[in-house]
Structure 1
Amino acid sequence: MRVGVAGGLAVERTLAVMCGAGVLPALVAERARAERWRVVAFTFDGATDLSARVARTIPSRLREFGPILTALKDEGVSAAVLVGRFSMTDVLHTGTSTADETALSLQGRAGSRIDSRLVDAIIALFAGVGVEVLDQRRFLGDLVPEAGCWSRRAPTADEWTEIRRGLTLAREIADASIGQTIVLRYGAVVAVEAVEGTTEAVRRGTALAGPGAVIVKATARAHDYRFDTPTIGPETVSAAVAGGAAVLAVEAGRVAILDRQAAARVADTAGLSLLSVSDAG
């Protein structure tokens, strides 16, 4: 408890930021602090050092959920945000012989390590200790643009045909919990994202397609933003440029673009069309 400005008692809210790799955990921590949250960072493999931005940092492992639940209770956490890149390869490689009892129970309840039931199981696990998992867009909503072209070059008519096809296909693979990104060339699908992530799928797809590939990233229709905000940024754009892609399109209002101005500058160096697209095109 702490003393409020009027002399009364005010409850201090504590937010747990479950930190994967990338820049998003630091951004969420800073924005949460601006909203007067006390922030505790649970840092997983690949997470950056947030010690200067948070009240406490707790190194954590995917295979050890028991200590995480204990820390949530000890720190008085009332809400959590899961943010950053969590390697699905690491999830798949976590053996049952090294997982603790809570992690094994979580896997048993989910029945899968990669589909939506895992999300539901994690949310239920946190709810059991009084912690609500928040929608990431509470802190990141301004990074998710509506339809628009962010590069100097707009798509050609032929590229728009591939973008529309790619948007439909990307939604379908997302609905099936396969991935979110499709790479096309001349109407043919040359790569489908799986557990490797968007940037690696772009590298693989453009290597197979050759110059002129069209890349489209979209979300499942029932995508749960408590677990993930689909994102691209300058790194993904750089991979598309390096592979000679012609277009990188993401679903408007559903996919975030980190550092949009920097991403557009990278796109413009190679004439890549970078845009957010809706059904209307």
Structure 2
Amino acid sequence: MSETTPLGIIAGAGAFPLALARAAEAQGRPVFAILLKGIAGKELEAYPHAWVGIGQFGAICAQARRAGCRDLVLIGSLVRPNLWTTLPDIGALKTLPEVLRLYRGGDDHLLSGIARLFEREGFRLVGAHEVAPGLVMPEGRLAGPEPDADDRDDIAMARAAIAALGPYDVGQGIVIGRRRIVAVEGAEGTDGMLERCAAMVASGRIRWGKGVGILVKAPKPQQDRRIDMPAIGPATVDKAAAAGLRGIAVVAGSTLVVEMDEVVRRADRHGVFVLGVGAEAGP
């Protein structure tokens, strides 16, 4: 990685872009933030930055070159844009036929294709975990009560389901309890899935027994982890607790955790375990 050149952060929504900028800054790496209009937060305006529309591929590349960036990180939540309401620039129009083909598939297909477009322009796409390993989930129990044997069986079953669904570009997150899968993450994302579970609990559709229910997140087998790693944060813990879940299990080394200290505090307060499991198929 080109440590002396500015790190270009193409920022979506949420807390991760700022956490990454701070981590790079702490390592002495200069940062240039490319903020997506209407999506990114204004807190990154504290760094050298430019606001760019999501469809302005040419402008993104031009701003990154002007700032001297060679390495780019795509980070932050981003709703799949509507291609027909996005205003592209000339740079985007040049790639429009290719982008149209990329839209004929799931998010992994789209994101991997966009990464190739940036690389073709001479940039290197790097993962947030490569820049800021301190944001990566460690192995073992991070907070909350110790998972029991039933929890570990559920985690193993959920991970097998994620692996099976992976080729269909769906299912990075699953909610499971006593070997019953009650929700699979779709286009609504993890927060939306947990809100759906909370609504089912409130309506009586789900009746958790005491100490039942786990959110399991894992990368899909074909997922490009440079541009789309599973992630959790304090809000994930709050929403899991609101849904009556007992714990959260994610793959250590392949999951980003924002505000890790706050995740621990909230998990301990709610009595929700947070567990980093090994990369192998079992927990």
**CA deviation string 1:51-81 (max 9, x = no partner):** 22x22x2112222222222323333322211
CA contact (8 A) 1:73 1:129 kept: no
Residue 186 of structure 1 aligns with an amino acid whose one-letter code is R
Q: Are positions 1:198 and 2:205 aligned together?
A: no
**58, 62, 69: which one pairs with 2:54?**
62
Amino acid at match of 2:135: L
Residue correspondences, number: 266
Letter in 1 for 2:11: C
Pair 99,235 (structure 1): closer, same or farther in 2 beyond 3 Å: same
Aligned to 1:242: 242
Q: Within 5 A, what are the aligned runs for 1:15-164?
A: 15-44=7-36, 45-49=38-42, 50-52=44-46, 54-55=47-48, 57-88=49-80, 91=81, 93-95=82-84, 98-100=87-89, 101-102=93-94, 104-112=96-104, 114-164=106-156
Residue number among 180, 184, 190 corresponding to 2:176 in the alignment: 184
Structure 1 residues 193-245: Cα deviation after superposition (integer angstroms, max 9, x where no partner): 01111121122134333433221111122332221232101100000111111
Aligned partners of 2:107 and 2:242: how far apart in 1? 31
Query: 2:203 corresponds to which residue?
Result: none
Q: TM-score, normalised by structure 1?
A: 0.84
Kept in 2, the 8 Å contact 1:182–1:215? The answer is yes
Instruction: Give the CA deviation at 1:85.
Output: 1.1
Residue 65 of structure 2 aligns to which amino acid in structure 1? Answer: K
CA RMSD of aligned residues (A): 2.4
Cα 1:149–1:16 change in 2 (3 A) is same
SS of equivalent to 1:124: helix
Gaps of 5+ in 1: 1-10
Structure 2 letter corresponding to 1:51: E
Q: Is the 8 A contact 1:107 1:113 kept in 2?
A: no
Amino acid at match of 1:46: I
Which stretches in structure 2 are left out of the alignment for 5+ residues? 201-205
C-alpha spacing 1:31/1:246, structure 2 compared with 1 (3 Å): closer
Contact in 2 for aligned 1:202/1:240 (Cα 8 Å): yes
Query: Cα distance 1:102–1:85, how it changes in 2: closer, same or farther (>3 A)?
Result: farther
**Which of the pair has more CA radius of gyration?**
1
CA 1:67–1:143: 2 relative to 1, 3 Å: closer
Is the Cα contact below 8 Å between 1:206 and 1:245 reproduced in 2? no
Q: C-alpha separation between the residues in 1 aligned to 2:186 and 2:64?
A: 32
Q: Secondary structure at the match of 1:21?
A: coil
Secondary structure of the 1:71 match is: helix
